[in-house]
Structures are given as C-alpha cells and as structure tokens.
C-alpha cells in the first residue's frame, strides 16, 4: 500500500504512519469510556500493527475517563510496588520524584504477567525536550541474522526491580527514596528472551532495563550477549520519537515495544499519567512460560489488582 493514511470501516478514524516500522497517529476520535465497539476494535488493531499509536488534543481526558478508555482494552492494573496516590490506577510518570525513565525498557517486566498495554497521557509538558522513544521489538527480532535468532530463542533472562542489582550507581536522596518504594518488594522473574506474542503470533525480543542477567551465563558473557541483541532493538530504523504536546495520549503494546524517556528538559515540569492494562504470562518460542522466582507470589497492592498477578489463563487481558 502506498498511501500513508487509511480510514477504517464503520468509524471516522484516520490512521497515519509516523515511521516505516513503528508508530502511527490516529485522528478523528475523542477518547473516553463511551467509544463504540468498531472504534475500539480499530484502535486495538492499529496498536497491534503499529506498536504505538498517538492521539493529539485529548485535553478533555481526566483520570476517570483515561481509566475508562483503558477498560475498553482490558483490565487496568496497579503498579506492583508504587502505591496509588488517589485510589485510581493512573500512575504518575513525572520528573520531579526521581522517576526518570531514561533507560530502554518495557513496563513492569520484573513480574510474569506484565502489562499488555500502557496508555500515557501528557498533562504538563516541558518547553523543550522530554520526548519519548519507542522501539519495535518484533522488528528487532525479525532483523536478527539467523544464528542470532537461534541463540536468542535458546536464552532466558532474569528481570528484577532491584535497582541496586541492575544499576548500582550513586543516586540523589530523592531518587533513593523513590527507589525504596519502587523496590519495597523485590521481584525476580525469568522470561524467555524470545516471546511469542499472544495476539499477533509474532516473535519479539524480551529484554530491557529490568533484565539483570541471562540464565546460565556469567556476568561479562551475559552483558555482551544482551548488548548484541539490545543493539538490534535500539536501531534507529526500529524506533519512533514523539514530541509531546499537552493533551497527547500514547497507547503502546508493551509486549512488542521498549521505550525510553529522554531526560533533557532540565528542571522543567513534565507530568504524565499512565494506565496499564493487564497482560498474560509470556510463552517462549520453545513453549516454556515465564517463571516468578521471588517472592512466592505477587502481593496485593493497596488499591485494585496488581500488574503481574494474573495467572495467565487464556488471554485474560482481552
Ligand atoms: Fe515506562
């Protein structure tokens, strides 16, 4: 298809690709909990195809409608360790509490059934910088030379939220406090490095910043192999970069992407709100499922259902 825009059936949506391999802008929709079935189906199909979709001018969306829109895609889930401040699922992604996300990662991969989708809404954007990048991990897998695919499919990786293990660098007191909350329960989960996507059937690389080590490899070997595979994720051709405006919403398939919040807006306020939608337990190319190594189960959060608590029955997120 040569055209860059497509209009979907039975809805007024227009979908325009941003990059060749990832990202599309959806226009002609006012997000919220009252969308009709055809529109929701078109949005879901678009995010599965383009991995991340962007909606401009959604200033009307408040915390409740943000969550209500999320419910159309699945069950909203709470962060497993960071408590909700207002009894809602929306998770603050601000740069004022040390929660900077300038590392490539998929959300919450330190638990087995990590979120299928994340929906991020921009409330306050800085005058410059603070863009977010996403990378297509299915394209990264597809671009691997055959010997590296074979290697990747044989590997499993241990993901943890224990920053001391992942990034032992000295940090500010503020950041240390945030990390204390973030790591109040230390999770370790072993995932396959190549996951079969439960909806598209695509194979995707499951790596990112929460990955601490590859099972069965020593530290330096593990870092070297991860570096080779991760470099395919981060290839510019596999990425898209979004410059936020107030009212923008980004919806991504957290199972087929990594993202990176660029930390270059100095001390300007940047306030985004994230709702995450329940996922299921990953299954590797060899049919083996992910395994929670510790603790024995995902504890109940103060509010609602914890991300990762699903036992991963048949497509619990749909
Ligand atoms: Fe994130």
pLDDT in tens, 99-126: 557 899 999 999 999 999 999 999 999 9
CA–centroid distance, residue 105 to ligand 1 (Å): 6
The per-residue pLDDT for 11 is: 72
Catalytic option among 159, 191, 274, 278: 274
Catalytic option among 66, 79, 88, 107: 107
Q: Which residues of 237-267 are buried (b: 16+ CB within 10 A; e: fewer)?
A: ebbbebebeebbbbbbbbbbbbbbbbeebee
Query: Torsion over CA of 301, 119, 140 and 307, rounded to 10 degrees?
Result: 10
CA–centroid distance, residue 90 to ligand 1 (Å): 13
| Catalytic (active site) residue 259 | yes
Name the residue among 235, 275, 234 with its Cα closest to residue 108.
275
Q: How far is CA 1 from CA 4, 8, 14, 228, 270, in A?
A: 8, 14, 15, 33, 38
Residues having C-beta closer than 5 Å to ion ligand 1? 101, 107
Dihedrals φ, ψ of 312, to 5°?
80, 35
CA–centroid distance, residue 256 to ligand 1 (Å): 13
CA–centroid distance, residue 170 to ligand 1 (Å): 21
Name the residue among 185, 197, 199, 221 with its Cα closest to residue 298.
185
CA–centroid distance, residue 17 to ligand 1 (Å): 22
| Average pLDDT for runs of 10 along the chain of length 318 | 58 93 98 97 98 98 96 92 66 57 93 97 96 98 98 98 64 70 87 98 97 96 98 98 98 98 94 95 97 85 66 32
Q: What tens digit of pLDDT does each residue of 177-218 get?
A: 777 777 778 999 999 999 999 999 999 999 999 999 999 999
Name the residue among 134, 162, 140, 156 with its Cα closest to residue 254.
134
Name the residue among 166, 168, 158, 165 with its Cα closest to residue 216.
158
The neighbouring-strand residues paired with 205 are 194
Report yes or no: 99 and 93 within 8 Å, Cβ to Cβ: yes
Catalytic option among 66, 105, 179, 273: 105
Q: Is the dihedral of CA 112, 118, 122, 128 positive or negative?
A: positive
Catalytic option among 156, 191, 255, 259: 259
The per-residue pLDDT for 2 is: 41
Dihedrals φ, ψ of 38, to 5°?
-65, -40
CA–centroid distance, residue 1 to ligand 1 (Å): 32
Name the residue among 112, 55, 102 with its Cα closest to residue 308.
112
| Catalytic (active site) residue 107 | yes
Distance, in Å, from the CA atom of 64 to the CA atom of 145, rounded to the nearest integer, reads 45
The per-residue pLDDT for 86 is: 63
Listing DSSP states for 302-316 in one string gives: SSSPBTB-----TTT
The per-residue pLDDT for 171 is: 60
CA–centroid distance, residue 8 to ligand 1 (Å): 29
CA 282 to chain centre: 14
CA–centroid distance, residue 101 to ligand 1 (Å): 6
CA–centroid distance, residue 130 to ligand 1 (Å): 13
CA–centroid distance, residue 185 to ligand 1 (Å): 18
Distance, in Å, from the CA atom of 65 to the CA atom of 79, rounded to the nearest integer, reads 19
Residue reference for tokens 């072993």? 190
Q: At 139, which helix (H) or strand (E)?
A: helix 137-142
CA–centroid distance, residue 297 to ligand 1 (Å): 23
The per-residue pLDDT for 83 is: 67
Structural Rg of the chain based on CA atoms: 18
Coil vs helix vs strand at 191: strand
């Amino acid at each position: 298809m040569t055209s860059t825009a497509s209009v979907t059936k039975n809805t007024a949506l227009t979908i325009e690709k941003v990059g060749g391999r990832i990202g599309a802008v959806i226009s002609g929709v006012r997000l919220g909990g009252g969308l009709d079935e055809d529109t929701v189906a078109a949005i879901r199909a678009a995010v599965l195809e383009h991995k991340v979709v962007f909606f401009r001018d959604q200033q009307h969306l408040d915390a409740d409608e943000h969550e209500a829109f999320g419910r159309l895609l699945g069950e909203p889930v709470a962060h497993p360790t960071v408590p909700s401040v207002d009894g809602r699922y929306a998770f603050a992604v601000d740069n004022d509490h040390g929660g900077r996300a300038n590392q490539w990662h998929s959300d919450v991969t330190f638990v087995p059934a990590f979120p299928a989708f994340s929906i991020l809404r921009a409330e306050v954007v800085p005058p410059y910088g603070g863009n977010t990048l996403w990378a297509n991990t299915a394209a990264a897998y597809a671009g691997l030379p055959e010997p590296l695919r074979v290697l990747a499919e044989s590997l499993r990786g241990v993901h943890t939220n224990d920053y001391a293990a992942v990034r032992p660098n000295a940090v500010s007191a503020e950041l240390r406090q945030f990390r204390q909350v973030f790591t109040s329960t230390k999770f370790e989960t072993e995932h396959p490095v190549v996951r079969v996507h439960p909806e598209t059937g695509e194979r995707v690389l499951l790596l990112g910043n929460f990955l601490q080590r590859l099972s069965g490899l020593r530290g330096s070997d593990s870092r070297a192999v991860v570096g080779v595979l991760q470099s395919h994720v981060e290839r510019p051709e596999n990425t898209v970069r979004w410059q936020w405006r107030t009212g923008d919403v980004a919806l991504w398939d957290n199972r087929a992407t990594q993202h990176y919040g660029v930390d270059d807006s100095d001390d300007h306020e940047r306030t985004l709100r994230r709702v995450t939608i329940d996922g299921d337990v990953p299954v590797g190319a060899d049919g083996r499922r992910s395994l929670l190594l510790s603790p024995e189960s995902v504890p109940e959060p103060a509010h609602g259902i914890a991300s990762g608590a699903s036992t991963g029955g048949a497509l619990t997120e749909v």
